[in-house]
Chains A and B, each alone.
Chain A
Amino acid sequence: MSADVLSTEPHTPPVGTSLLSLTGIQKRFGAVRALSDVDFEVRAGEVVALVGDNGAGKSTLVKVMSGAGPADEGSYRIEGREVSIGTPAAASAHGVATVFQDLAICDNLDVVANLFLGRELTRGVALDEPEMERRTVELLEQLSVKLPSVRIPMASLSGGQRQSVAIVRALLGSPKVVLLDEPTAALGVAQTAQVLNLVERLRERGLGVVLISHNMADVMAVADRAVVLRLGRVAGRFDMADVSREQLVATITGADTNVVSERAARVAGRSAAAPAGTEGNQA
């Protein structure tokens, strides 16, 4: 086959270099300090999980990164260079792509049309359907995303397939960093695995991935690092290699490492759900 359709590789920096880094981020909503003094970094070829309880500030931080809700204070660096990102367009121009939780997909259009929506290829005035389809097939193949057909309307795909298409669409702009806001929230076991596989493939391609999730199993499964937010502050940073699910949950809920919190963490772990099971502890 011909050249890589993603065409990210040529200018993707080597694994480990800093792609996106935020320092001293402050964000207020009136009296609410949604983010205070947050530092955050994503490097090439890693998956960073952003975790925290409801209202911790995860979505606010993603909005800062995606340009949808710029910070009040703090610096935003792309590959070490200070940039000012005030709009989603500016973010994607700097190689930061976001897949929001509501996927923003046109159910009446097929996979190819959705992937190329707003940036269709043309020959003269007419759409270049064969070329768009070829690139779609190639891209899906490279990322091992399996769909029954690229010419069926999105409405007839499963949740995991739709999420996969949304992620693949974010890749068409050749981003360096991909922000995923709760990509597995509404998915079953098999479909979650499908999406996590895709996340791993993004990492293999040398992209930086930010994964927001309430699901500790997912986080433990794919993330290299985790950043825990609590009440708008960074409550902990972990290498997934040397952290247990209990420690993570304890940091999320803010409990010290004691018998009570460990028990709470165990309960939370057993009920498989996110920190919901530890709410009593937090109060």
Chain B
Amino acid sequence: MSTTSTDSAADAAAMDPAVPVPDAAPQQPKQMLRERLAGLRGGDLGSLPVVIGLAVIVIVFQSLNSTFLNSFNLVNLCLQIAAVGIIATGVTLVLLLGEIDLSVGSVSGLAAAILAVLNVNEGLPPVVALLAAAAGGLVIGTIHGLVFTKLGVPSFIVTLAGLLVWQGAQLQVLGSQGTINLPPSGGLQQFGRFSYLADWQSYGLAVVLPVLFLAAKLATRSRRTRAGLPVGAVWVPVAQALLLLAVLLAVVAKLSIDRGVPWIFVVFVAILALVEYVLRRTRYGRAVFAVGGNIEAARRAGIKVDALRTSVFAIASMLAAVGGTVAAMRLGFANQSSGAADTLINAIAAAVIGGTSLFGGRSRMYSALLGALVIGAIANGLDLLNLSSALRYIITGTVLLLAVVIDALASRGRRSAGR
């Protein structure tokens, strides 16, 4: 029993925060820093590459075109990344299982078509059309999941077939019309293009969120104290909350100079926050990580693996559908190329760039937001420079490859450190 406590430095090197680490990890700042540095040496780069990458992107585009960082453009950026971010949130879930969903683009396009047809052609109220589109996604994902789990068809094939089938369905739903415009004064376009938080709402959120964050941290801290577990210094969560407050206030202030914080962006972040909560704080989320980590272990622990995987595919397709409706609401129309082109690759790229491993079982907090910001900033910046498609594809593809390489290297590092 003597070998255990000596090699904790080496163990720290293998630490990987891409798994659900409860917020209560009792660490003193010095120890946190030491483990962080050890982690960096051990090949775990954390969210550092993304943040640095984002900074580089911002600096490059800002120096090439000084309008990049102005309020008008940043509000546009928020509008632009909402849809892809919501789709990427669903992709994150599937990647956590160690699977892939190649149909999210097509499903988002089909959902856009369903939304437009029900609202415009059938005259149904916006909310009903939205719910129907989301429900359609849920049904589609359930089909994917059942074919995958019950028939044993690899997810790659199931969703590749889905990519084609649902694109066909989209064309069918749109019929001969090709493009259906949402009425400019209707609820859908109003919400997608012209709805922004009022100042009191956005500043209120910017203050309330850090307060809630701090309250949750302190509550956990006191429960740990009562349980006799070690706790870190109080000022750490306080400092974190203050930092969050500063960032949120700065963002809100910047966006409020122009139109303000778009509602669809708030919807995206709210969905992401809900998914993050479920993933990291509930039994369901724990089961998702377990299945992605070792499916046999999960099965033996009594987790209903097939039902779980089916549900994840269902949620992913539903989020793809929601993302598709958000895109349609923002653009003001649904057409035959809704959800086509680079929707799929952007969503997967956002999830991976943000720090979700393709090997399953690992995802950093809020990876869909970080990744969507990177993808969105590149597209937006190139648009400003009138360098649209060709270069954007090349750069986005390269960034995705880079993210995958970092993921693969980190995974190899874990294997060698994992003894």
Residues of chain A having any CB pair with chain B under 8 Å: 1, 88-89, 102-110, 113-114, 117-120, 122, 125-127, 129-131, 133-134, 137, 144, 146-149, 151-153, 155-161, 190-191, 193-194, 197
- Measured in the bound complex, the distance between the Cα atoms of B305 and A104 in whole Å is 14
Q: Are A152 and B11 in contact (CB under 8 A)?
A: yes
| A-B contacts at CB below 8 angstroms, number | 146
Q: Are B16 and A194 in contact (CB under 8 A)?
A: no
Residue on B with the closest CB to A121? B283
- Measured in the bound complex, the distance between the Cα atoms of B2 and A144 in whole Å is 11
Q: A126-B281, A190-B2 are in contact. Are A153 and B15 (CB under 8 A)?
A: yes
Q: Are A127 and B4 in contact (CB under 8 A)?
A: no
Partner pick for A106 among B24, B297, B414, B419, CB 8 A cutoff? B297
Residue on A with the closest CB to B18? A108
> Scoring B residues 276 to 312 as 1 if CB is less than 8 Å from chain A, else 0, what string do you get?
0000011100110110111011101111000000000
Q: Are B8 and A148 in contact (CB under 8 A)?
A: yes
Residue on B with the closest CB to A112? B22
Q: Are B361 and A106 in contact (CB under 8 A)?
A: yes
Nearest chain A CB to B215's CB is how many angstroms away?
A: 14
- Residue of A149, A152, A153, A161 contacting most chain B CB atoms (<10 Å): A153
Supply 11 A–B pairs (Cβ within 8 Å), ascending by A.
A104-B301, A106-B361, A108-B292, A110-B21, A120-B283, A120-B286, A126-B281, A148-B12, A156-B10, A157-B11, A191-B3
- Measured in the bound complex, the distance between the Cα atoms of B1 and A197 in whole Å is 8
Which residues of A lie under 8 Å from residue B24 when comparing CB positions? Answer: 129-130, 133
Q: Are A109 and B414 in contact (CB under 8 A)?
A: no
Q: Are A148 and B229 in contact (CB under 8 A)?
A: no
Does B152 interact with chain A (Cβ within 8 Å)?
no
Q: A108-B361, A109-B289, A117-B301 are in contact. Are A156 and B418 (CB under 8 A)?
A: yes
Q: Are B1 and A144 in contact (CB under 8 A)?
A: yes
13 more CB-based (< 8 A) A-B contacts, given A106-B361, A158-B419? A1-B228, A105-B297, A108-B18, A108-B289, A108-B361, A109-B290, A117-B290, A119-B302, A126-B282, A127-B282, A130-B224, A153-B15, A159-B419
- Measured in the bound complex, the distance between the Cα atoms of B223 and A155 in whole Å is 28
Q: A108-B292, A130-B224 are in contact. Are A151 and B21 (CB under 8 A)?
A: yes
Residue on A with the closest CB to B297? A104
Residue on B with the closest CB to A117? B301
Residue on A with the closest CB to B277? A126
Q: Are A190 and B281 in contact (CB under 8 A)?
A: no
Residue on B with the closest CB to A1? B228
Q: Are B5 and A134 in contact (CB under 8 A)?
A: no
Q: A117-B290, A130-B224, A155-B418 are in contact. Are A109 and B22 (CB under 8 A)?
A: no
Q: Are B302 and A131 in contact (CB under 8 A)?
A: no
Q: Are B20 and A109 in contact (CB under 8 A)?
A: yes
Does B220 interact with chain A (Cβ within 8 Å)?
yes
Partner pick for A133 among B229, B302, B303, CB 8 A cutoff? B229
Does B351 interact with chain A (Cβ within 8 Å)?
no
Q: Are B1 and A118 in contact (CB under 8 A)?
A: no
Partner pick for B228 among A105, A134, A152, A161, CB 8 A cutoff? A134
- Measured in the bound complex, the distance between the Cα atoms of B286 and A119 in whole Å is 11
Residue on A with the closest CB to B357? A108
Which residues of B lie under 8 Å from residue A104 when comparing CB positions? Answer: 294, 296-297, 300-301
Which residues of A lie under 8 Å from residue B8 when comparing CB positions? Answer: 148-149
Q: A119-B302, A156-B417 are in contact. Are A109 and B293 (CB under 8 A)?
A: yes
- Measured in the bound complex, the distance between the Cα atoms of B414 and A197 in whole Å is 29
Q: Are B283 and A127 in contact (CB under 8 A)?
A: yes
Which residues of A lie under 8 Å from residue B271 when comparing CB positions? Answer: none
Which residues of B lie under 8 Å from residue A190 when comparing CB positions? Answer: 2-3
Q: Are A118 and B301 in contact (CB under 8 A)?
A: yes
Which residues of A lie under 8 Å from residue B414 when comparing CB positions? Answer: 155
Does B394 interact with chain A (Cβ within 8 Å)?
no
Which residues of B lie under 8 Å from residue A137 when comparing CB positions? Answer: 229
Does B7 interact with chain A (Cβ within 8 Å)?
yes
Q: A127-B281, A146-B5, A158-B419 are in contact. Are A106 and B229 (CB under 8 A)?
A: no
Partner pick for B19 among A110, A119, A134, CB 8 A cutoff? A110
Nearest chain B CB to A9's CB is how many angstroms away?
A: 21
- Measured in the bound complex, the distance between the Cα atoms of B281 and A1 in whole Å is 27
Q: Are A147 and B4 in contact (CB under 8 A)?
A: yes
- Measured in the bound complex, the distance between the Cα atoms of B229 and A155 in whole Å is 23
Interface residues of B in 1-42 (CB under 8 A from A): 1-5, 7-8, 10-16, 18-22, 24-25
